[in-house]
A and B are shown apart, each in its own frame.
Chain A
């Protein structure tokens, strides 16, 4: 794999993460525990859609085969999607959605920080822009995690359960494959081993503030980055891609 190919795959994976997260967050619109939270979820989803567009357009430009953001998003099947498994899991209750946001965003902001100084200039620019949004998302989600963890017995139980359930998908975040290794070597991409330590420190601090227990690192599921997904992604794509698939070639 050339370094250019690795960069294209990497940018596409970033876009995949963003759009899958956007789809999941969008499901909260009209169904949130408070109006303010519906707005927040819609707002975060909107941020992610914006990021997906930037990553996909960038990947398309690099690729040079003329694929635009929509072709990349709507005309690939699951095995070509490289989002991490954590993001395609169903929303669960509000606590689970918050737990996922915290687990992912803590990773994501560290990843973006590393990428912001990449010699791949456009990628660095997108990362710098996404960091601002990510910082805000983490602050919001962390506040909720603390409130739920240290709220009532029920909320504590629910959000602890969510963290326990999702934990198995966190290993993949730090599992470097060939693409990650080339990114690190050639494009100053993140060192996932070092990043894992930082992530653990931040999560430890947050969980303890939220009076939550950190789960043990048991068996970790993985494969999303390489296109080996759970059953959930197929439905996300079927829904998201339905118009593009039903009316091929139409403009919208």
Chain B
């Protein structure tokens, strides 16, 4: 899940008169019985809104995420790596399409969702506002970013909204490929020359903290988790997921022979978990607000693609209309 802005962004909106106490209670009973909610079922307007926002953010993130990785396709160091990266980026486009499709079942159109992305109104994961400046960044993104995404998305496979849950099952399978391939890039670099090791360490230094931020604000400040939890849209809290991620990732870094950029990182024998340092939440909020290294470039790239493609889309619909007219004649 790439939705770190979600929990705090939601404003209290006026209650929908259709959300009668009876309906709400019946809905909650279905959720509590672990029933899946399907597109045609009645749902509270807040549930629908929350899902639309979360799912569209997720889809946007898949799409914007193609940019930092696409940045290295033409420079991949071997043909095999080039093929793997191309396939990965293609998968991400597929995830985006698939999740947009699932979001449309909630009564919104992909065109409108994309328009919100392009105007800057909708959010996408801040992780993609960081630059990919070396080949090791591609390894690190697979290892950490896809790794964090899996951690987030596995519970979503049990999300109460059927189309989203099913989308996540499929997406998770591919993300775990990406994670392994990313780790494999890192392994190769860490077994390589001093320069390659330096490249790998540099990438870890830059991506570690942002990938911890992917899990969203701390539970202490995250106001909206409670409702999402009750609706079983969210099933595990931000901090719990983050801890799980740290616990599995630290030994992987050790195996690579890399040093985590965190002086406070220590294994706590009593709890069996790693304790880690304070996340720079100021950086998190700044990047979310638009003040990251690549925020402007990412949005400009998507807008430029959209604008330059307008004549193509217009041609396609003009042709389709002509064809329909010919068929009717």
Q: Which of A30, A69, A251 has the most CB of B within 10 A?
A: A30
B195 lies within 8 A of A152 (CB): no
Mark A86-112 against chain B: 1 for CB-CB distance below 8 A, else 0: 000000011100000000000000000
User: Which of A93, A151, A158, A243 sits near B316, CB closer than 8 Å?
Assistant: A151
A252 lies within 8 A of B89 (CB): no
B311 lies within 8 A of A155 (CB): yes
Subset of 27 A-B contacts with CB under 8 Å: A22-B82, A26-B74, A29-B89, A31-B304, A35-B93, A38-B66, A39-B93, A45-B73, A46-B83, A49-B86, A50-B83, A56-B79, A70-B79, A93-B308, A94-B309, A148-B319, A150-B322, A151-B314, A152-B314, A154-B311, A154-B314, A158-B311, A239-B74, A240-B75, A243-B76, A244-B78, A251-B191
B96 lies within 8 A of A35 (CB): yes
Q: Which residue of A lies closest to B97 (CB)?
A: A35
Chain B residues, CB < 8 A from A42: 86, 89-90, 93
Q: Which residue of A lies closest to B306 (CB)?
A: A33
Chain A nearest CB: distance from B53 CB in Å? 20
B94 lies within 8 A of A250 (CB): no
Chain A residues, CB < 8 A from B313: 33-34
A147 lies within 8 A of B74 (CB): no
Interface residue tally on B, bucketed by range: 35 or more
Mark A29-58 against chain B: 1 for CB-CB distance below 8 A, else 0: 111111111110011011001101100100
A94 lies within 8 A of B312 (CB): yes
Task: Assess whether A146 is interfacial by the CB under 8 Å rule.
Answer: yes
Q: With the chains together, A12 CA to B69 CA distance in Å?
A: 29
A33 lies within 8 A of B312 (CB): yes
Interface residue ranges of B31-76 to A (CB < 8 Å): 63, 66-67, 70, 73-76
Q: Which residue of B lies closest to A238 (CB)?
A: B75
A151 lies within 8 A of B318 (CB): yes
Interface secondary structure of B, over-half rule = helix
Chain A nearest CB: distance from B16 CB in Å? 32
User: Which of B67, B81, B305, B319 sits near A147, CB closer than 8 Å?
Assistant: B319
Interface residue ranges of A137-154 to B (CB < 8 Å): 146-148, 150-152, 154
Chain B nearest CB: distance from A125 CB in Å? 19
Chain A nearest CB: distance from B141 CB in Å? 14
Q: With the chains together, A244 CA to B79 CA distance in Å?
A: 11
Can you name 8 extra interface pairs (CB under 8 A) apart from A19-B79, A29-B70? A38-B93, A45-B86, A49-B83, A69-B79, A148-B312, A150-B319, A250-B193, A252-B135
Q: Which residues on B are within 8 Å of A, measured CB to CB?
A: 63, 66-67, 70, 73-83, 86-87, 89-90, 93-94, 96-97, 135, 185, 188-189, 191-193, 195-196, 301, 304-305, 308-316, 318-319, 322
Q: Which residue of A lies closest to B314 (CB)?
A: A152
Task: Assess whether A73 is interfacial by the CB under 8 Å rule.
Answer: yes
Task: Assess whether A178 is interfacial by the CB under 8 Å rule.
Answer: no
> Known: A32-B309, A52-B79. Is A147-B316 also a contact (CB below 8 A)?
yes
Chain B nearest CB: distance from A173 CB in Å? 24
Q: With the chains together, A26 CA to B69 CA distance in Å?
A: 11
> Known: A35-B96, A46-B87, A94-B312. Is A29-B66 also a contact (CB below 8 A)?
yes
Chain B residues, CB < 8 A from A95: 312
